[in-house]
Amino acid sequence: TQLLEQSPQFLSIQEGENLTVYCNSSSVFSSLQWYRQEPGEGPVLLVTVVTGGEVKKLKRLTFQFGDARKDSSLHITAAQPGDTGLYLCAGGLQVWSGSARQLTFGSGTQLTVLP
Amino acid sequence: ETGVTQSPTHLIKTRGQQVTLRCSSQSGHNTVSWYQQALGQGPQFIFQYYREEENGRGNFPPRFSGLQFPNYSSELNVNALELDDSALYLCASSLDHSRETQYFGPGTRLLVL
């Protein structure tokens, strides 16, 4: 059972279009991170949001953390082929077996932006 | 500033063998977490090391074990390899065990035949 549900799973759009990726859970997270991953490489951190209702902008990317800290969205304006990749959301939780702060990931959204 | 590095990049093993993967944390980071990412899935938390001790563990059997060294580098050991262990193994470092923002290395691709 996936604790974090991402949608859509796959998205193929034309250059210049806008898109939104959603990350939903029934659990409350202390933080929410978004990563982008290229094939065969590790995830690269895009943003961390920690406050319910928080909105962060990174150039053409807008990230929002839900008021209840259970969901998040990533909106990309005027997508470019360089935005192509796997977008992963990850919620921060305390591990039951210790004091570690673990990340629990969604299964990702594979975005393809066609020129 | 040096980022997270991992070695080797690729590895092929047969069922029943043992494997050791290595990770060097980002400069100034004292906490290392390990994740397993199967094809088409998000990473899954294996365990975390802080001050050379295991600080928390996900739902992985005891044949997955690790170490952290005084310089904060870390190893992941997997005994009695199974076919389902084939995956990308990711190491992530964070400034401190209380911080949730983690920075990932490029991963080690393990194939078990």
A40, B43: Cβ pair inside 8 Å?
no
Give the pLDDT confidence score for residue B5 in this predicted structure. 96
Q: What percent of chain A has pLDDT over 90?
A: 77
For the stretch B66-112, pLDDT in tens is 999 999 999 999 999 999 999 999 999 998 877 778 999 999 999 99
Residue length, chain B?
113
Count of A-B CB contacts under 8 Å: 91
Best of A1, A69, A103 to disrupt the B interface (most B CBs within 10 Å) is: A103
pLDDT at A104 over 70: yes
**What own/partner pairs with CB < 8 Å and gap ≥ 24 does B49-56 have?**
B49/B74, B50/A99, B50/A100, B50/B96, B50/B97, B54/A98, B55/A95, B55/A98, B55/A99, B55/A100, B55/B31, B55/B97, B56/A95, B56/A97, B56/A98, B56/A99, B56/A100, B56/A102
Average pLDDT, chain A: 91
> Nearest CB to B105: which of A42, A100, A103?
A42
Winning range, highest mean pLDDT, from A92-96, A104-108, B16-20: B16-20
From A23's Cα to the closest Cα of chain B, the distance in A is 13
Best of B47, B102, B108 to disrupt the A interface (most A CBs within 10 Å) is: B102
State the SS3 of chain B. Answer: CCCCEEECCEEEECCCCCEEEEEECCCCCCEEEEEEECCCCCCEEEEEEECCEEEEECCCCCCEEEEECCCCCEEEEECCCCHHHCEEEEEEEECCCCCCCCEECCCEEEEEC
